[in-house]
Chains A and B, each alone.
Chain A
Amino acid sequence: MSNINYSEKIPNNVNLNEDKTLQRALEHWQPGFLGWWQDVGPESSRGFDVYLRTAISVDPSGWAQFGYVKMPEYRWGIFLNQAEKERKIHFGDHLGEPAWQDVPGEHRANLRRIIVTQGDTEPASVEQQRHLGLTAPSLYDMRNLFQVNVEEGRHLWAMVYLLHRYFGRDGREEAEALLERRSGDANNPRILGAFNEKTPDWLSFFMFTYFTDRDGKYQLCALAESSFDPLARTTKFMLTEEAHHMFVGESGVSRIVQRTCEVMNQLKTDDPGKLRAAGVIDLPTIQRYLNFHFSVTIDLFGADQSSNAATFYSAGLKGRFEEGKRTDDHRLHGATYKVLDVVDGKLVEKEVPMLNALNEVLRDDYIKDSMAGVARWNKVIEKAGIPFRLQVPHKAFNRQIGTLAGVRVSPEGRVVSEAEWKANVDRWLPSEADRAYVASLMGRVVEPGKFANWIAAPAIGINRQPIDFEYVRFN
């Protein structure tokens, strides 16, 4: 594609039509993106007509246009939320100064790094999920997967727009590199650990979209506060789409839980063996997947004490979650925060300067939000009259990053010996046998309105369509 019809092919509100430099940069990048999509995007899905939502503008009426689309023809647009007039920086050392419409030289390297790290997660998750279309438990779920995939693609566009528009040659090179790294590739992996893990089955996918996409939400929320106005406006708009991804995760796990509870009540058993024989996923297995995805995800917030985090905040690059709604001085010099430490084989809290603990602040906000959704899954179990409850593990459990890395801690938060860890790890994290069992359930269901045995139908369809709507046409 050498020529792009900008307003038609790339819906945008950034005056792409008039920006020749940006057009040239995107013209160069777009074929690479399409090639990437073809190579490592959703497998064997090229000809499918998928009932997708496309954003064509940022106002409520324009950003959710539904219709059948072949995914490579999806209109990946570039949108910034409406500008706030005379927006002021509202935290850090520049508090009260006008927000930046361009990148200040002294923050160029850090801003680029922040944008590249965020941008890298978007194609990574598409790569991680590329085989899942082959085992979708229904057309409804397949459509939701593809919706998540195309929107991750759009989020990549959003970050690449910032790199191209504001970072010159460095930005263009970083944009290329975003298409070159590969999830799980030993030689050229994605930047963050969780984005190199496999997403081998749909339980993993739903857990990933619930937990890991929620990390995305919190990172985007923190960036939406940024003094660099184009970044703030871009991420604000991405958040609206991110909500769908978390919906897919939350409702997906909820429907699996619901189906398991139905079968538990039919068979009047909580024996995992009998439930597996009946083809559903027993609640302890769901708990182990939850433990895994939760612990891997909270690592993404970074080390519990980080001077980078302090720099990013004080410089005004990245705020806290809902910075604008907080009532402190928004500079945080002298403020403290409690983080975990291990002393004499026990977890203890210690007070550290809050500026250095901002990763932990964001992680704790995230944990609170995650727990609320788990409580809603428990409502489904409670409604079925079953005494089991899912739990979020202790935040020191299974950590690989920060002070707690390598410390063996049980899901309840008790420091344990290596021997005790080894003896129990299969009760705490998904075992090979668990993963093999869940994998054995995976198989594509293509009849409209039919669902795999291990998952309940959703309460309502997409965009008021019926549950048995033909969400994907294979052609």
Chain B
Amino acid sequence: MNDAATLAAPVEVIRQHLIDPEVCIRCNTCEEACPVDAITHDARNYVVDPDICKACMACVPPCPTGAIDNWRLMLRSQAYPLAEQFEWDELPAQIDLPEGAAALAQGPATAAAEAAAVVAAAAAAEPASDVAGFATAVTATSFGATLAPWSAAHAYTNLYNHKQPTTATVVGNYRVTDAGVESETHHIVLDFGRMPFPVLEGQSIGILPPGVDARGKPHVARQYSIASPRNGERPGYNNLSLTVKRVTVDHDGNPVRGVCSNYLCELKKGDTVRVIGPFGTSFLMPNHPRSNIVMICTGTGSAPMRAMTEYRRRLRGKFEGGRLMLFFGARTQKELPYFGPLMNLPRDFIDVNLAFSRTPGAPRRYVQDLMRERAADLLALMKDDDTSIYVCGLKSMEEGVLAAMRDVATMGGVQWEELAGRLKREGRLHLETY
């Protein structure tokens, strides 16, 4: 809970952790795994005490059924008590929150729920600890930090919500992947004119596409990571850029026309869009001169990495000791957004490693393969207390990347659990996958 909760003043919204009694096999594994004894059971059901559960996720990976991974946005005052959970034969549906609370939760939260079906190219979302409660960020929470590194700048969040969005004008819309390749990615520049919209690299914004969904309700917001630095896509201007991939298939490979990504990709210069946000208080870059940044991304997960890299490029000379290392994966070179500009960056400024998983005639290479190849240099950075690590991209990369980091640490004689714990505590490992 953070900004949104405090804005809500008397109303506190929680993400209540629930266990699906129809899927659960009562194996007791979660109760064993819970470090704070929030889980208990009777002869009928396993249940989670909302007053104790800290959403630490220790119970989620060990659950053999997936029954453990259920969450409902609730007013704290109305959270389901244990006695009621014991009586359930099935989980209750998400209930509508009261007007005020709903307004707070609306933008990001429902966007996340919908996004699961119509995954837009939303990159960095709010961490799971926020009201937003993105389903997409859930598994990351066991490793990912919920705090920003110590030298991060202060982030403004939730200045605009779906009831009171602001308006931005499209001042540029460029295709950044080659024509003819399967994935079409656009670089879109939005200008806020005289309206305040202060952002930091790693934050995201919500776009409200026009029109209504199949049920006749206005479309919910879709989130996009900001691809430009804090002082504007064009330095000194009140604008920012987004990296948007046109969604043509859903997560399962079925054809679908992504509502928001198609809307954005077809915008013309001078069009206006409704915007909410900004969002995000933890996936933020360090700013002290010795700070190193390790960036690991795939596809449009590159947006926050571009933002951070560009900000450091503009300040070149002030970060003598701080190094940048990038691992960037795409299916082919042609599908890699920003390939050209990236290759023009000086080698002594950023250590760029590209992995292509579908280059004809070449073996499939993933970012984690590159990380293992560069183990020595990566390890040196991982061991450095001035290093912050950022991971952004499709959910499927997360395990591989974490495993690679673990292996790099282990082979280097570093105890991974200890290191991962420290990185998390100190706000130096950030995972945003979708």
Chain A residues packing against B (C-beta within 8 Å): 7-8, 56-57, 59-67, 217, 239-240, 242-244, 246-247, 250-251, 369, 372-373, 379, 459-464, 466, 468
Q: Would A247 and B27 count as touching, CB distance under 8 A?
A: yes
Q: Would B62 and A63 count as touching, CB distance under 8 A?
A: yes
Contacts of B26 in A (CB 8 A): 369, 372-373
Interface check B36, CB cutoff 8 A: no
Interface check B377, CB cutoff 8 A: no
Q: Would B69 and A464 count as touching, CB distance under 8 A?
A: yes
Q: Would B403 and A244 count as touching, CB distance under 8 A?
A: no
In the complex, residue of chain B having the shortest beta-carbon distance to the beta carbon of A247: B64
Query: B72-86 vs A: 1/0 string, CB under 8 Å?
Result: 000000000000000
Contacts of A373 in B (CB 8 A): 25-26
Contacts of B400 in A (CB 8 A): 67
Q: Would B89 and A379 count as touching, CB distance under 8 A?
A: yes
The contact sample of 25 A-B pairs, CB cut-off 8 A, is A7-B411, A56-B406, A60-B58, A60-B59, A60-B60, A60-B62, A60-B142, A65-B403, A67-B403, A239-B32, A240-B29, A240-B32, A240-B33, A242-B27, A243-B28, A243-B64, A247-B27, A372-B26, A373-B26, A459-B23, A460-B65, A461-B66, A463-B66, A464-B139, A468-B252
A240 to B34, CA, bound (A): 13
Q: Would A63 and B22 count as touching, CB distance under 8 A?
A: no
A57 to B406, CA, bound (A): 11
Interface check B43, CB cutoff 8 A: yes
Contacts of B410 in A (CB 8 A): 7
Contacts of A242 in B (CB 8 A): 27
Interface check B61, CB cutoff 8 A: yes
Contacts of B395 in A (CB 8 A): 464
Sort chain B's interface into a size bin: 35 or more
A459 to B23, CA, bound (A): 8
Interface check B143, CB cutoff 8 A: yes
Chain B residues packing against A (C-beta within 8 Å): 22-23, 25-29, 32-33, 43, 57-62, 64-66, 69, 89, 139, 142-143, 251-252, 395, 399-400, 403, 406-407, 410-411, 417, 420
- Residue from A7, A217, A460 within 8 A of B66 (CB atoms): A460
Q: A61-B417, A243-B25, A246-B64 are in contact. List 8 more A-B contacts (CB 8 A).
A: A56-B406, A60-B142, A243-B62, A243-B64, A246-B25, A251-B25, A372-B43, A468-B252
A173 to B27, CA, bound (A): 35
A87 to chain B, nearest CB (A): 16
Contacts of A247 in B (CB 8 A): 25, 27, 64-65
Knowing A56-B406, A243-B29, the reply to whether A61 touches B61 (Cβ < 8 A) is yes
Knowing A65-B403, A243-B27, A247-B25, the reply to whether A60 touches B57 (Cβ < 8 A) is yes
In the complex, residue of chain A having the shortest beta-carbon distance to the beta carbon of B252: A466
Q: Would B22 and A459 count as touching, CB distance under 8 A?
A: yes
A342 to B28, CA, bound (A): 36
Contacts of A369 in B (CB 8 A): 26
Q: Would A251 and B139 count as touching, CB distance under 8 A?
A: no
Contacts of A462 in B (CB 8 A): 66
A475 to B338, CA, bound (A): 34
Knowing A57-B417, A466-B251, A468-B252, the reply to whether A64 touches B61 (Cβ < 8 A) is yes
Knowing A247-B25, A459-B23, the reply to whether A59 touches B139 (Cβ < 8 A) is no
